[in-house]
Amino acid sequence: MPSTSIRKFEYDPDSRILSVWFVASGRHYQFLDVPPESFAGFKSAFAKGRYFNDHIRNRFAFRLVT
């Protein structure tokens, strides 16, 4: 199901960086040291925004990509 809050996401298993682009702000963030299991849950979640808020936001260090 397409997300209304998350436009796009990518995961690099070597660096364990999850990149997320948001719809409303257009901003791109990188979440650091995200385990493959967390990404797998995010990728397979029916509601990506809800999974992100419950399992990724405020749990991993992040940086804004400019």
Q: Which pLDDT tens digit goes with each residue over 16-50?
A: 999 999 998 999 999 999 999 999 999 999 999 99
- Hey, what are 41's tokens? 């849950």
Asked whether the CA dihedral 8, 55, 61, 34 is positive or negative, the reply is: negative
Question: Is 1 within a domain?
Answer: no
Q: So what's the pLDDT on residue 1?
A: 54
**Total number of domains constituting the chain:** 1
- Residue-number span of the structural domain to which 20 is assigned: 6-65
How far is 15 from 28, CA to CA, in rounded Å?
A: 17
Phi, psi of 43 (to 5 degrees): -60, -40
- Note whether residue 57 is domain-resident: yes
Is residue 13 very low, low, confident or very high in pLDDT (cuts 50, 70, 90)? Answer: very high
Residue 53 lies in a domain: yes
- For residue 20, being part of any structural domain is answered with yes
Residue 56 lies in a domain: yes
Please work out, in degrees rounded to the nearest 5, the angle formed at the alpha carbon of residue 5 by the alpha carbons of 27 and 37.
90
